[in-house]
A = this chain, B = another copy of it.
Amino acid sequence: MDIFREYNIKCTKQRQIILDIIKNNNGITIKEINELVKKEINLSTIYRIIELFLNKEIITKKIVDNVVIYELKEKTHNHYFSCNKCHKKTIIPKKDIENFENKIIMNNDYEVTSHNIEFRGICSKCKGK
């Protein structure tokens, strides 16, 4: 499969299955993955594959409602405005984020290694009800 070649790792049936599961379930726990594949994949293999995917940055680890979940890492590191009504996401232009980050750095002399920027509200379409 393409993605395995891209990340230069061997393509196995187990890795393929787990990758598909993570793709199809946006935000899933180890326990849930295990429930889905316990007949075909050993739990220690699941841990090893998750570890591999994390190291290769194919997936990311997050906390949602105080629970650890895994989800596909977006290749392009984008930031979104999320509408609370229609739940659609709109990308905030990369240039805007960069300008903002540069300003923060310039003003403070920091080395920024990661950021998390998220806006929520009502989008223009939903504003007119």
A48 at the interface (CB under 8 A from B): no
Return the chain B residue nearest A97 by Cβ: B100
In the complex, the answer to whether A93 meets B120 with C-beta atoms within 8 Å is no
Range class of the A interface residue count: 35 or more
The secondary structure that dominates the A interface is strand
Among A103, A114, A122, A124, find the residue whose CB has the most chain B CB atoms closer than 10 A: A114
Return the chain B residue nearest A90 by Cβ: B108
Supply 29 A–B pairs (Cβ within 8 Å), ascending by A.
A61-B63, A62-B63, A63-B63, A63-B68, A64-B114, A81-B104, A81-B112, A90-B108, A92-B104, A92-B108, A93-B107, A96-B103, A96-B107, A101-B119, A109-B124, A110-B119, A110-B122, A110-B123, A112-B119, A112-B120, A113-B121, A113-B122, A115-B118, A115-B120, A116-B116, A116-B117, A116-B118, A117-B117, A117-B118
